[in-house]
């Protein structure tokens, strides 16, 4: 990951000091930012479940290179993406699972991306059952792109929206037209989950998220990190005799592979 970050910085430096941003950054996704982008993604997940006195702890991970293309479409971007490489794994008390993910490679995700980073999916690729059991890839693009502030953001300032998202600009622009953002996003969500063929329950979730993003006015998103803690509870109700609490800790790191993008 260090080599990837160094390559990004070296590529930006090659544009020369004359192109360093001297004006306010424009935080919005543009087609030119993603015309042929490659991103290296690393995800690590820890899951701890408790019910009564029983405790279950699992781990999972994903290593991938995601290719993304985009074009303008009625104010949003029409986005197409696919995995160029992919490996997933999970470790449980039963051992380690590493399904063959080659069947996912090249399958297309298609949808639209707003200038602020809201993605709406229209198509997802076929995910083999053994891969789906280890990693949920259906929401890959929905959760991929960082959200951006919806207006000007001065150094030291904070932008907020109605969902609880807070985005900060902690320092001045860096050389090469780079800017940095940090965010926190705390939110609650209720989902219906099928426990058995005849029993569905409501799962209450509390999601706490922090992250940081390095942004280039010329290239768009360069590197970002997300850290999530998700607490989910199923109360004692109906056919659930004991309440169930699970805590998911997830770390996501993404580095743009500028030196490997064919259009560069």
The pLDDT tens digits for 111-166 are 999 999 999 999 999 999 999 999 999 999 998 999 999 988 999 999 999 999 99
The CA distance from 207 to 230, in Å, is 5
215, 222 contact by CB (below 8 A)? yes
Q: Is 2-9+22-260 assigned to CATH 1.20.1050? A: no
Question: In this structure, what DSSP letter does residue 18 have?
Answer: G
Regarding pTM above 0.75, the answer is yes
Helix (H) and strand (E) counts in the chain = 2, 12
Is 12 in contact with 223 (CB distance < 8 Å)?
Answer: no
Inform me whether the pLDDT recorded for 197 exceeds 80: no
pLDDT for 90 beyond 70? yes
Q: Which two tokens stand for residue 49?
A: 């479940």
Q: What is the C-alpha to C-alpha distance for residues 163 and 168, in angstroms, rounded to an integer?
A: 15
Decide: residue 51, CB within 10 A, 0-12 exposed, 13-18 middle, 19+ buried.
middle
Average pLDDT over residues 48-55: 82
Summarize the confidence of residues 96-110 as an average pLDDT. Answer: 95
The end-to-end CA distance of the chain, in Å, is: 20
Going by their DSSP bridges, the two strands 158-160 and 109-113 should be labelled as unpaired
Span 211-262, pLDDT tens digits = 999 999 899 999 999 999 999 887 666 555 677 788 999 999 999 999 999 8
């Amino acid at each position: 990951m260090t080599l990837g970050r160094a390559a990004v910085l070296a590529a930006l430096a090659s544009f020369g000091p004359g192109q360093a941003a001297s004006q306010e950054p424009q935080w919005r996704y543009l087609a030119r930012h993603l015309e042929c982008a490659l991103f290296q993604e690393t995800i690590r997940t820890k899951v701890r479940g408790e019910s009564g006195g029983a405790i279950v702890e699992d781990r999972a991970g994903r290593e991938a290179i995601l290719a993304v293309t985009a074009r303008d479409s009625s104010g949003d971007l029409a986005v197409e993406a696919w995995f160029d490489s992919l490996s997933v794994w999970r470790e449980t008390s039963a051992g380690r699972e590493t399904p063959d993910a080659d069947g996912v490679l090249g399958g297309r995700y298609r949808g639209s991306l707003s200038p602020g980073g809201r993605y709406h999916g229209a198509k997802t690729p076929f995910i083999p059952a053994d891969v789906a059991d280890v990693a949920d890839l259906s929401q890959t693009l929905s959760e991929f792109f960082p959200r951006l502030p919806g207006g000007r953001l001065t150094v030291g300032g904070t932008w907020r929206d109605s969902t609880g998202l807070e985005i900060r600009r902690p320092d001045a622009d860096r050389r090469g037209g780079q800017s940095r953002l940090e965010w926190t996003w705390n939110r609650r969500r209720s989902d219906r989950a099928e426990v058995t063929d005849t029993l569905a329950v409501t799962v209450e979730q509390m999601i706490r998220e922090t992250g940081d993003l390095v942004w280039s006015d010329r290239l768009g998103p360069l590197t970002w990190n997300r850290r999530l803690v998700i607490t989910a509870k199923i109360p004692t109700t109906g056919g659930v005799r004991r309440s169930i609490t699970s805590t998911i800790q997830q770390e996501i790191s993404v580095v743009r592979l500028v030196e490997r993008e064919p259009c560069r």
